[in-house]
Structure 1
Amino acid sequence: MKFICVTLLIISGITDSRSEQYEVVGPTDPVFAVAGEDVILPCSVKPNISVVDMRVEWFRLDLKDSQVHLYDDHEDRNTDQIQSYIGRTELNHQELQSGDASLKLSSVRVSDEGLYKCFIQSKSWFDDATVNVNVEESSLEHDQLLKTILPKAPTYLRTYKVGKDGFSSRCFYFEVQVKEQTVWYLGVTRESVNKKGLIRLRPENGYWIVGQRYEEYRARDSFAYSLSLRVNPQRVGVFVDYEKGLVCFNDVESKSHIYSYTDQSFNEKLCPFVCLGYWSNENSTPLIICDDY
């Protein structure tokens, strides 16, 4: 009789577990967002059961400190959230009742581009879905950056001697001649960065750069962004607004925008960074920090 009761309990447990199974579903195509605007990252469960009592976690697959948003025990718990996402993420708690765990991301930034995972866990089951987010900078934002920055550049150059002691306030600007060179990286770096061994030139390691490797131009944020440039730059201008957390690169001759790091957090001196590449480079053409303007 005891054996029969235990068997019934086991069968009942299996039935309960299977009844709680669900599939987490995300978009099959990348989600496109425009910098400065809001975007919804879709995620839901099938069948459309309530996830109010479940753990819902959004995180980045391409970042070391990865938590973007956490909902657990009926409330948002974002104490370990990536700093750049603070105050910009939101789950609609009412929609959780119908199985919709989509994340609203406000004031999109270029650095938000990447792979996100939506993870949903109940007491006896879990599943996840991946969302690929592509971010485009608006042409209006580009125009505003060029109109604001380029006229000021000579003033900042006359005020500050580039690279002598580093910079920890206000704004500075410098230009680098990259003509005829096929492998280069330039930008700014924290004064205290690691300079030994294999270094990943990314903001989290203290490097804000753009570069060229043969026919490809890239910016190296949390992962590499391929840049589509209309012409090959011969001279690159680098503008830094320390207080605003802005590092902007422009093609001096064509007066066109190349790339910008925005909403960065600087807490120590920054220095100009110029490099002919950390892999083999047989081209002896130097990179020159210019002083002829």
Structure 2
Amino acid sequence: MKISVDERGNHCKLLKLLICLFSSEKFEVLGPTDSIVAVAGDDIILPCYLKPNISAEDMTVDWLNLDFLDGRVFRYQNHRIIRDDQILFYSGRTSLFEEELWRGNTSLKLTRVQGTDEGRYKCLIQSKSWYDDFTVQVLVKVVGSKPVVSIEGHREGGMGLLCESEGWHPEPELVWLDSKGVHLSAGPPETHRDLDGFYTVKRHVIVQETDTNHFTCRVQQSRINEKMETEIHLPSELFDYATPWRMAFMVLCCLGAVTVIGLALVIYCIHDLRKEKDYLTENREPDFETIRRHEVVVTLDPDSAHRKLILSDDGKQVRHGELNQVLSDNGKRFTNWSSVLGNVGFSGKFYYEVKVEGKTEWTLGVVIQSINRNESCIPIPNNGYWTVELKDGEYTAHADSPVTFTPREGPQKVGVFVDYEKRQVSFYNVEDRCHIYSFTDCSFTEKLYPFFNPGDSDSISLVVCPVDATD
């Protein structure tokens, strides 16, 4: 007999009416009697339903993890999902079949199962006048990696082995076996559980030589009926090195080698110390008064002076001016840097002093005559400059890699000493009679000219001074 569309609609309305009538009665909460075994990474359903199959749409549905003190996994109440107080690691992984609530299906879907999901889950249903619950056990199963065996070397006359396997759940057991399957006496198992609840286990063992030298590491989990094994064979030669006489021989050899190496190092160090002493004797800074005996007369060369520099009539002072002077373009003049040279070049040993008192910026040193005076370049030895600079309160030696330093006292008068044969340019604080900085292993190929740059931050002159024995 065929049922019309109108009749079918009337039947559905009648069914819903009957459900509503029964909803005020008592009910039972039912679920599976056996544990639910889940494979890590899979999705599972925790069955729960009402008997009779009345609607749960107007009820409160709670899923709890009884292994947690405040173990709310999921809550449905007042026709909506309540996410307050949910255990954090269940967030985004739990849901009900809301379209099935009208016929009493309150099953929970749990996605992407992990090791920490294992436990006892309670399905608690509450109406306005009645409640009931049901508890189901969830077991999480995951088979870890194949055991990895590594050789740790000789241990107490035998050979040390380590076995390790990771990613198991529940916690597995690790045992060592000989070739006949007999358990070996091993160290205590070491177990670690990661944030997802999976276990890593490892165990050390010391094995003695046998007729086969075959050993097996077995990781097993009896509850999920899983096990994995790795076998290793050790060559007899490995155990030969562990015999007492061989060990004694090796120790003697090592001691002999250490003795020979030690003697060689002592001889090398003595030789090296002699070389260092000779080098220091050869390259140590000479006495300051001895240095000053190599004074030379320095006069500034006006033909090399930048147009903004103002020189004294006697050629002993230079300062920075505000305006470019009208001067001849003779090819010797600095055009891009406010600098001036001495009028004579020197080789051998020579020394001169420059008064810098009161100045906030200056650059002093020596240069080769053939430096480029028309282009801006970095004042470093590779470009023919050996200079020290004061700028912004900081002292810098313009080596190929700039060296910044802080003298004990800022010099009021700077001494510049060159030893052409030793390839060395040194700077001194004249008042303190102390060394400031030295360029060593310089490469000189032509005469060196005194170099002066008064800077543009003040109008105080650099002054070439005669060496005064009373300083």
Q: TM-score, normalised by structure 1?
A: 0.47
Q: Which has the higher contact order (CA 8 A, sep 6+)?
A: 1
For the pair shown, the structure with the greater C-alpha radius of gyration is 2
